[in-house]
Structure 1
Amino acid sequence: MSETITANLPSRDFARTEAFYARLGFETRFRDDGWMILGLGDTQAEFFPHPEVDPKTSWFSACLRSDDIEALHARFSGAGLPTDRLSIPRLTGIFKHASAPRMFALVDEDGSLWRVIDQGDLPG
């Protein structure tokens, strides 16, 4: 038996979301008017239409665990996203808080927060 959990995130416009994530290296695996699946390596994220989501107040989020966050951060940095604290979209540098694993954050154009977590830094 094999199970998978995927992030389900809002998209104000599938074409814009698809183009944004393509800049980060994601590929389109499925798309119709009501659903879109984008993949990166062995993982994927699913998007649903939500034209009224406000990027400034969005509370949607996902975690992406990686065994090489430096390489993934370098790849995402190639998209030229802003790095300041208020821009949407934006990309942070790699950081570590207290007992949390090393990570960086990505906020997409619809305000969804991705926590990209160093899998090697996780307990157990």
Structure 2
Amino acid sequence: MHKQIYVNLPVKDLARTKAFFEAVGYRFNPQFTNDKAAGMELGDNLYAMLLSEDFARTFTPKAFPDGKTATTGWVCLSCESSEEVDALVAKARAAGATIPSEAQDHGFMYGHGFEDPDGHHWELVHMRGMPPQG
């Protein structure tokens, strides 16, 4: 059905947010990056468009909630292993992320996450199998 996903996120300070995600280990596609937006590569055909709030307002008349006090959703990314989950959270913490909760191990799934400088929640999970039935 769909071939790519682009998650659009408004950010207060594009340079700061870009530096944060570069410290975590993500790359930006220069073809989709300028002083108004940054096209962050999350994986094969997976992208986050980080949009300065002024630029993001050209796409919607709605107000942007403060991500530090309100949640309208969060981004969840799959990882190859529990170790990758922990490594990315550690990099995010070192780059200044807020870690809102402890890691959770549900047996079939391991997850942990962080909040970026704008308060957007990024959840990282490693699926080990299927959830128990019943």
Shorter chain as denominator, the TM-score bin is 0.7 to 0.9
Higher-Rg structure is 2
- Aligned mates of 1:2, 1:54 — CA distance in 2: 30
1:17 deviates by 0.8
> Is residue 52 of structure 2 the alignment partner of residue 49 of structure 1?
yes
Shift in Å at residue 93 of structure 1? 4.5
Counterparts in 2 of 1:7 and 1:101: CA distance versus 1, 3 Å: farther
Q: What do you get for the CA RMSD once the two structures are aligned?
A: 3.0
Report deviation, 1:63.
Answer: 0.8
Partner of 2:117: 109
1:120 is aligned, of 115, 121, 128, to: 128
User: Which residue in 1 is equivalent to 2:4?
Assistant: 4
Q: 1:104/1:10 Cα in 2 relative to 1: closer, same or farther (>3 Å)?
A: same
Task: For 2:69, give the aligned amino acid.
Answer: T
Classify the secondary structure of the residue corresponding to 2:109: coil
Unaligned runs of 5+ in 2: 55-63
Q: Distance in 1 between matches of 2:87 and 2:68?
A: 26
Is the CA contact 1:53–1:110 (under 8 Å) kept in the aligned structure 2? no
Deviation at 1:8, TM superposition (A): 1.8
**How far apart are the structure 1 equivalents of 2:85 and 2:47?**
15
Which residue does the alignment assign to 1:77? 90
Which sits farther off after the overlay, 62-71 or 30-39?
30-39
Tell me whether 69-78 or 17-26 shows the greater mean CA deviation.
Answer: 69-78
Q: Tell me how far apart the structure 2 counterparts of residues 72 and 47 of structure 1 sit (CA, whole Å).
A: 22
User: Structure 1: where are the runs of 5+ without partners?
Assistant: 83-87
The alpha-carbon deviation at position 74 of structure 1 amounts to: 1.4
1:94 to 99, 103, 113: 103
Q: Describe the SS at the equivalent of 1:102.
A: strand
Question: Residues 107 and 80 of structure 1: is their aligned pair in 2 closer, same or farther, counting only changes over 3 Å?
Answer: closer
Deviations for 1:10-60, whole angstroms, at most 9, x for unmatched residues?
211110110000000011112124432112443431112226752422424
Decide which structure has greater helix share. Answer: 2
Per-residue deviation at 1:116? 0.7
Total equivalences in the alignment: 117
**Contact 1:107/1:113 (CA < 8 Å) preserved in 2?**
yes
